[in-house]
Amino acid sequence: MAGPGRSFALVILDGLGDRPHPDTGGKSAVEAAATPNLDRLVAMGQLGQVVVVGPGVAPESDAGVFALLGYDPVTDSPGRGVLEALGVEVPLAPGDVALRLNFATADGDGRVLDSRVGRSLTTGEAKDLAQGVSAADLLADLGIRAEVRASVGHRGVLWLHPTSGGTLSPNISNADPFYEKVGGMGHARRPEEPRVLRVEALDRSAEAGRTAAAVNAFLERAGPILAGHRVNARRAMSGKKIGNALLVRNAGSLPVSPPLSFTTRHGVEGAALTEMPVERGIARVLGLADEYVGMMGADRDAGYRERARRTRELLVHHPFVYIHLKGPDEPGHDGDARRKQEVVEAIDRSYFGPFLEGLDLATTRVAVTADHATPAILKGHSDDPVPFLLVGAGVLPGGAAGTGKFGEGTAARGTLGTRRGSDVLELLLHTPTVGVSRA
């Protein structure tokens, strides 16, 4: 399929998959949303569903994206920490360890009251907190420089750089109780009573033992600094949740043998349009041209129109473009089905509307799917299959089962059936004719 004059777009809608919710009339937020542009594509192409990583696995975004881009997230990913670090331009060196970090709210016994500080911690506040912790040089006595880099909102990176005593090891467990580390992949968990966990070495090496002990020491020493920081004092005075704890997870190091580049693996040169540091890190690891647009501003519709414009520009210069839109995930985590419905409608209206205007689907093939499900009813990731839409060059117009509405129910009955995440790129790039015609 790939060849001169052909273009391919993979649109990943973060956390799109959902389940029925009472706030959206007993439908999922996706099925309740008005999506005329996506519905039109359903009628023109083929629909199915994707088990992104595997049955029983509720992946994080990085694992889902690796799978959808044709890689094994367990063996090919350097780990969420490394991807986040590369996304915020941390100058990692061999022997360093990086971990994904959340500023969080906890009580005095380590119980996690809010893993995202009420989602109200600003990026500026997070940077001030990070600077306060980093300036304390908390692990100097252990021969390690520990630095926190804030990224977007409550998110950040813990960077450990050994100054003496040899290299560190990423083979350690998570302090974040909401995620379990499996190889280079994070698997979502839903603990009944979440507490900040003690980090353990996952092998018997001296390097892993040293790294686990260092992370535990860092978290213990950082607590008083965060609790007494002026940012948290101001937040407490105004009745806001405070960022007095750090949840770290998915440690990683620069790989000795990095994964094959996207071009080498798939034979197609590509670009990535991304909003979050972790997806930017994935683009850099896989050698995709990096078009980082950052988080959405106050005007959501204007932001999606701008992303549609930039997608079309990228398709002029690159035969393959991966687009990652964060929008549906956050209201899913917040349990806000109505807001998730509104985000899906905005994406259909202001991203897919202008993106499709004048697009030649005779020479362009488009896939639309998700990196994981984030059902609002669960307020977290799940292993639910997610919709998978394929349309354009070489895709037979199979019609749609049932109503023709883009959503989980129609996807489950679609002509593409149930696929694995690793099937998506093969179908998008390398299968000349896709689908079964259904009159």
Look at residue 439 and tell me if it is in a domain: no
- Residues 209 and 87 placed together within one structural domain of the fold: yes
**Is residue 115's pLDDT more than 60?**
yes
- Residues 242 and 357 placed together within one structural domain of the fold: no
Percent over 70 (pLDDT), the chain: 97
pLDDT score for 297: 87
Secondary structure letter of residue 201 according to DSSP: B
| Domain limit, last residue, from 252, 283, 308 | 252
pLDDT score for 403: 55
- Residues 302 and 248 placed together within one structural domain of the fold: no
For residues 215-227, one letter each, b for 16 or more C-beta atoms within 10 angstroms of the residue's C-beta and e for the rest, the string is bbbbbeebbebbb
Look at residue 435 and tell me if it is in a domain: no
Reduced to 3 states (helix: H, G, I; strand: E, B; else coil), residue 302 is: helix
Of 11, 41, 48, nearest to 386 (Cα)? Answer: 48
402 — pLDDT class (breaks 50, 70, 90): very low
- Residues 296 and 149 placed together within one structural domain of the fold: no
Runs of H (alpha helix) within 298-439: 300-317, 329-333, 337-346, 353-356, 408-412, 423-425
- Residues 418 and 303 placed together within one structural domain of the fold: yes
Domain that residue 409 falls in: 7-77+259-430
- Residues 303 and 383 placed together within one structural domain of the fold: yes
Look at residue 1 and tell me if it is in a domain: no
Question: Which region among 89-98, 324-333, 395-404 has the lowest average model confidence (pLDDT)?
Answer: 395-404
CA 327 to chain CA centroid, Å, is: 11
Look at residue 44 and tell me if it is in a domain: yes
- Residues 26 and 103 placed together within one structural domain of the fold: no
pLDDT score for 13: 98
Q: Give me the sign of the Cα torsion angle 304, 305, 308, 314.
A: negative
| Domain limit, last residue, from 252, 282, 302 | 252
- Residues 190 and 320 placed together within one structural domain of the fold: no
> C-alpha dihedral over 232, 238, 239, 241, to 10 degrees?
-30
**Is residue 401's pLDDT more than 50?**
no
Interval 137-173: pLDDT, tens:
999 999 999 999 999 999 999 999 999 999 999 999 9
In whole numbers, what is the pLDDT of the chain averaged over residues?
94
Q: How many domains does the structure of the chain reveal? A: 2
Interval 85-114: pLDDT, tens:
999 999 999 999 999 999 999 998 999 999
**Is residue 208's pLDDT more than 60?**
yes
pLDDT score for 3: 57
